[in-house]
């Protein structure tokens, strides 16, 4: 949480003061598809990214009047070397997780078997263009979310399906838990 949320939050809080005074600024937060829909064994990472995403959504509304823009870049998997930097904790997972998807993901991440399909250079070009309002960003300067990566598009579809299903199942109760007006 320190690296994924509290550190960026402190930096943003400091920078926003100056951006408000200048009446201009762009804050770019690098997030992850894990913030939308996490894989087993990645809950802490997803929580940190999700916290930053939620704060960014609120902040975008708060600073819009000062001509300060907040852009959250939601990344899928990219060839950044993240898999090679993954380190497991000292204590192995409980035996109950043997053979589970959690174990497989931890193994894939920690052994270098992680095979991303996104090109980091293309992604950063897209981020640059959206920030400066050129290329793919031209005419989209007011956007607050930039999804990048084929696997992220699939995750977004999963989340949309999850929420649509919840409304299908519980929509009637969702809309009937209101205060009765006299």
> Tens of pLDDT along 48-87?
999 999 999 999 999 999 999 999 999 998 888 776 677 7
Three-state SS for 2?
Answer: helix
For residue 179, being part of any structural domain is answered with no
**33 lies in a domain?**
yes
Both 16 and 76 in a single domain? yes
> Hey, what are 146's tokens?
């930039």
User: What is the mean predicted confidence (pLDDT) over 104-133?
Assistant: 89
Please tell me the pTM assigned to this model.
0.87
In a domain, 70, yes or no: yes
Provide the domain limits for residue 155. Answer: 2-80+118-174
Extract the tokens encoding 51.
């916290």
CATH number, residue 27: 3.40.50.720
Residues 6 or more apart from 36 whose CB is under 8 A from it?
Answer: 74, 155, 156, 159
């Amino acid at each position: 949480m320190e690296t994924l949320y509290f550190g960026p939050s402190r930096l943003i809080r400091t920078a926003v003061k100056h951006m408000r005074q200048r009446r201009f600024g762009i804050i770019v937060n690098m997030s992850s598809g894990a913030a939308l829909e996490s894989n087993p064994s990645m809950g802490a990472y997803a929580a940190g990214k999700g916290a930053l995403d939620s704060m960014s959504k609120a902040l975008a509304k708060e600073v819009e009047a000062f001509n300060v823009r907040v852009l959250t870049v939601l990344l899928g998997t990219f060839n950044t070397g993240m898999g090679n930097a993954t380190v497991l904790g000292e204590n192995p997972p409980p035996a109950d997780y043997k053979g589970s998807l959690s174990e497989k993901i931890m193994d894939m991440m920690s052994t270098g078997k992680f095979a991303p399909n996104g090109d980091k250079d293309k992604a950063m070009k897209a981020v640059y263009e959206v920030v400066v309002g050129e290329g793919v960003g031209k005419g989209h300067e007011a956007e607050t979310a930039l999804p990048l990566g084929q696997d992220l598009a699939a995750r977004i579809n999963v989340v949309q399906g999850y929420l649509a299903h919840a409304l299908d199942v519980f929509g009637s109760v969702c809309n009937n838990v209101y205060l009765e007006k006299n």
